[in-house]
Amino acid sequence: MAFTAPKEIYNGKINQVEIGKDQKLQLGGEEVLPFLPFEGKAVSQVPLALEIQDIAPADWAPALNGAYGGVMANPVEWAKKCQDDYKADMICLRLTGTHPDNGDKSAREAGKVVESVLSAIKVPLIILGSNHAEKDSEVMKHVAEVAANTGSIIGKAQEKNYKTFAAVATAYGHKLVALSDLDINLSKQLNILMTQSGFDGKNIIIDAMSSTLGYGLEYTYSVMERIRLAALQQNDIMMQMPMICDVGEVTWKIKEAKATEEEQPTWGAAEQRGILWETLTALSFLMAGGNLAVMRHPSALQTVRNTLAEMTE
């Protein structure tokens, strides 16, 4: 007797967001939970981005420094390496150097970096601030204008600065990352506030705030899963946005990813340890409903890509 898999009934679907200009990508668009194509329309592609920064990172793990050689002091060359050598679907430029405690670079300085990176790549660009709400508002006013009409993603909008982000994203044609603190109600509230301010909800990308394996991954997973269930089963339009997973930042700052073999000889090879940590974290969040992952190590990106290809055959 043939087995017939039971199927769930879904009432909603995830918004499809188009990003990029020269090489366009689609986020979202699914009508079922992740990797369940027998139940309905599932996502066939999940873009994977590699992160670069506007200044050379001083605290990245040796494994990451080794992957990028001498280009980390040059955002343009770094971006080209991610695109051409490591085949990233997107580049994520984090403007770390604009933070008041990390260089306090001006909005115009940030704009010059964004302009240079955009002119050097064809894949879509994600532009993130330094996570200093006030400074990010100041910087993004100029940066969004520099990157006007490129189909980029900017972020991260928070409760303290969402009005500014929503205004400049609308004015210059960008998609917008909305960051909330690991709480489905806060995420929904921020989406409502942004749409009430006039921003198109179909251009919002949810960031539920990532955490890594061993440091709260289960909590993030459950929040993301609840967001997806609300969107698909309850047809909640304020939860039907694609989700971004900022994996690299949270993974490579923990001791398991940064500790050397001399410091922890029983933990195994340091580089492989960090790569596996990032890989498992990314795959977990994509199984929870993530539509885009921002990563740091190219080998982790390739492993995730290969795994996704097997799961979506």
Query: Averaged in consecutive runs of 10 residues, what is the pLDDT profile of the chain (313 residues)?
Result: 85 96 93 93 92 95 92 98 98 97 96 98 97 96 97 96 97 97 95 96 96 93 97 97 97 93 93 96 97 98 96 83
Is residue 2 one of the residues assigned to a domain? no
Is residue 185 one of the residues assigned to a domain? yes
Domain count, the chain: 1
Can you read off the two tokens belonging to residue 38? 């027998």
Is residue 263 one of the residues assigned to a domain? yes
Is residue 54 one of the residues assigned to a domain? yes
Residue 116 pairs in a beta bridge with none
Q: In Å, how far from its chain's centre is CA 257?
A: 20
- Neighbouring C-beta atoms of residue 92, cutoff 10 Å: 28
pLDDT of residue 4: 83
- Neighbouring C-beta atoms of residue 174, cutoff 10 Å: 26
Is residue 7 one of the residues assigned to a domain? no
Evaluated on CA atoms 56, 60, 62, 68, the torsion sign reads negative
The CATH number linked to 122 is: 3.20.20.20
pLDDT of residue 85: 97
Is residue 268 one of the residues assigned to a domain? yes
Evaluated on CA atoms 125, 126, 129, 134, the torsion sign reads positive
Is residue 5 one of the residues assigned to a domain? no
pLDDT of residue 3: 85
- The span from the CA of 163 to the CA of 89, in Å, is 29
Cβ atoms of 48 and 293 within 8 Å: the answer is: yes
155 is in which domain, residue-wise? 16-311
Q: How many residues does the chain have?
A: 313
- For residue range 132-171, list pLDDT tens digits in order: 999 999 999 999 999 999 999 999 999 999 999 999 999 9
Q: In Å, how far from its chain's centre is CA 228?
A: 17
Is residue 121 one of the residues assigned to a domain? yes
pLDDT of residue 175: 98
